[in-house]
Amino acid sequence: MKVLVIGSGGREHALCWKLRQSPRVTELYCAPGNPGIAQVADLVPIPADEIHQLADFAADLKIGLTVVGPELPLTLGIVDEFHNRGLHIFGPQQKAAELEGSKVFSKEFMKRHGIPTADFGIAHDAEEARTLAAKFGFPVVLKADGLAAGKGVILPKNQEELDAAIALFFDQRRFGAAGNRVVVEECLVGEEVSFTSLCDGRHPLPLATCKDYKRLLDNDEGPNTGGMGAHSPAGSFDKNLGAQVLEEIVRPTLAGMAMENRDFTGVLYTGLMITDDGPKVLEYNVRFGDPETQPLMMRMNTDLLPILEQAAVGRFETLRMGFRKEHAACVVLASKGYPEKPIKGDPIEGLEKLLGQEGLEVFHAGTATKGNAVVAAGGRVLNVCATGPHLRDALKRVYSASTQIQWPNKILRTDIGRRVLQGS
């Protein structure tokens, strides 16, 4: 079967790397991809949000299954476009992608269906934001309604930070129309876990757990980013908690969406806070997490293709997903200035030294080629991933490999997994 993956990040590199191992994949394409993905797939120079051009390409080449990485094409309705043309694609339709596309929709949806989440209100202007923030006290959480690449969430700890955040949303209009409405919510305390399920419209098939590190700096300081590292399994998550999340969160979400005529097919990613009152939803994503997908794909030991294929046509049959017992870890190498304004253009050295080592992969994200060199071309540049019998071993390999890759403005978190190891 011919398969097309859409996107150009570390997540898409990991998906292509995994799909390439499927005996049933005859040809693998990625649009637009990156230099790392070019090692395992044929790159197609169509941007991820050009949904009509992508459908033309899939129709012309008789692509058997398209897999969508990022949220933007999903919220633009790529799945509806492909369906209208009779093409198979794995992902939610536009009206189901609202779960990620609008935080206001997702919070009100959770309220309608009794799904545990932080108490919240919706602010349309600075005055309403102040009133709501006063109700919740510090720290408080402010979130842009629309898509903001994981950067639209601010957690002010005091009045000064709150004033700055409100100015950012309503005066400077940093998030444009995505910030017209702002969710103001109670700050939850606990451990964060990413829980991901593949869904065929009615049934969830959960993947292994994963923990993502969203803040830019060590000790969870600095601004939120798309994610600076991850490991699977998550650590503080046992079977009982998994069952509770499925019963209280994932199944009610799928049932609620079906009830509202928004049947959910695709990846349902629930970002959870495990609080003293049980798991609560911080956010929904309607796609694979990045960087979570990288360690997940390294642990998965079943063929990904048949699962995505069955989900895409709306029925899981007897399939199960298997994950190796080993741990997998991922550290993101980013460029100074990320997430605001990363410095681009530095040549990257040392990549070739890490090729061909069992259980070690460097997935590319924001890279480009310039002559013979690979250069940093984005905020998150590379994902160094490794497996090991214990999280400690996986992290040791990851950090040792990370020192071998160099460019002048490289930055990374040095504490991925540390707190989980200290608690174990």
Contact by Cβ (8 Å): 169, 146: no
Task: Tell me which residues in 128-157 interact with ligand GLY (CB under 6 A).
Answer: 150
Q: Are 55 and 6 in contact (CB under 8 A)?
A: no
Check binding of 212 to ligand GLY (CB under 6 A). yes
Rounded Cα distance, 1 and 156, in Å: 50
Q: Which is nearer to ligand GLY, 121 or 222 (CB)?
A: 222
The Cα 66–Cα 73 span in angstroms is 12
Residue 292's binding partner out of ligand AMP, ligand GLY, none, with CB under 5 to 8 Å set by partner kind = ligand GLY
Cβ neighbour number for residue 127 with a 10 Å cutoff: 11
Reported for 137-143, long-range contacts at CB under 8 A and 24+ positions apart, including other chains, are: 138/162, 138/187, 139/187, 140/184, 140/185, 140/186, 140/187, 141/183, 141/184, 141/185, 141/186, 141/187, 142/166, 142/169, 142/182, 142/183, 142/184, 143/103, 143/182, 143/183, 143/184, 143/185
Residue 287 near residue 74, CB atoms below 8 Å: yes
Q: Does residue 285 bind ligand GLY (CB under 6 A)?
A: yes
Closest contact distance (angstroms) between CB of 261 and ligand AMP is: 25
Sign of the torsion angle spanned by Cα atoms 393, 399, 403, 405: positive
293/363 Cα distance (integer angstroms) = 11
Cα(19)–Cα(348) distance, integer angstroms: 27
Pairing label, strands 215-217, 360-364: unpaired
Q: Is 226 in the site for ligand GLY (CB under 6 A)?
A: yes
Does residue 289 touch ligand GLY according to CB under 6 A? yes
Q: Which is nearer to ligand AMP, 191 or 393 (CB)?
A: 191
Which is closer to ligand GLY, CB of 256 or CB of 295?
295
Q: How far is the CB of 280 from ligand GLY (least distance, A)?
A: 17
Q: Which C-beta is closer to ligand AMP: that of 104 or that of 153? A: 153
CB 43 within 8 A of CB 22: no
Token digits of residue 151? 């950067």
- Residues sharing a CB contact under 8 Å with residue 82, sequence separation 6 or more, in sequence order: 55, 58, 66, 88, 89
Nearest CA to 329 among 243, 268, 401? 401
Q: Does 151 bind ligand AMP (CB under 6 A)?
A: no
**Between 276 and 295, how does the x/- string for binding to ligand AMP read (CB under 6 A)?**
------xx------------
141 binds ligand AMP (CB under 6 A): yes
Alpha carbons 394 and 417: distance in angstroms, whole number: 10
Taking CB under 6 A as the rule, does residue 118 contact ligand AMP?
Answer: yes
**Closest alpha carbon to 25 in 58, 59, 66:** 66
292 binds ligand GLY (CB under 6 A): yes
CA dihedral 219, 350, 17, 79 (to 10 degrees): 60
CB of 97 to ligand AMP, least distance (A): 15
Angle at 401 between CA 398 and CA 406, to 5 degrees: 125
Piece in contact with ligand GLY (CB under 6 A), picked from 240-248, 288-296, 323-331, 338-346: 288-296
Binding track, positions 186-225, relative to ligand AMP; x by CB under 6 A: xxx---x---------------------x---------x-
Total residues at the site for ligand AMP (CB under 6 A)? 15
Q: Is residue 185 a contact residue for ligand AMP (CB under 6 A)? A: yes
70 binds, among ligand AMP, ligand GLY, none (CB under 5 to 8 A by kind): none
Stretch that binds ligand AMP, among 162-170, 184-192, 314-322, 402-410 (CB under 6 A): 184-192
Please state the closest distance from residue 371 (CB atom) to ligand AMP, in A: 38
User: Which of 143, 262, 287, 299 touches ligand AMP by CB under 6 A?
Assistant: 143
Beta carbon nearer to ligand GLY, 12 or 290? 290
Binding mask 226-265 for ligand AMP (x = CB under 6 A): ----------------------------------------
Please give the single-letter amino acid code of residue 171: D
Q: Which does 188 bind (CB under 5 to 8 A by kind): ligand GLY, ligand AMP, none?
A: ligand AMP
**Could you tell me which stretch among 180-188, 330-338, 362-370, 379-387 binds ligand AMP (CB under 6 A)?**
180-188
Please report, as ranges, the residues that interact with ligand GLY according to CB under 6 A.
150, 212, 226-227, 285, 289-290, 292
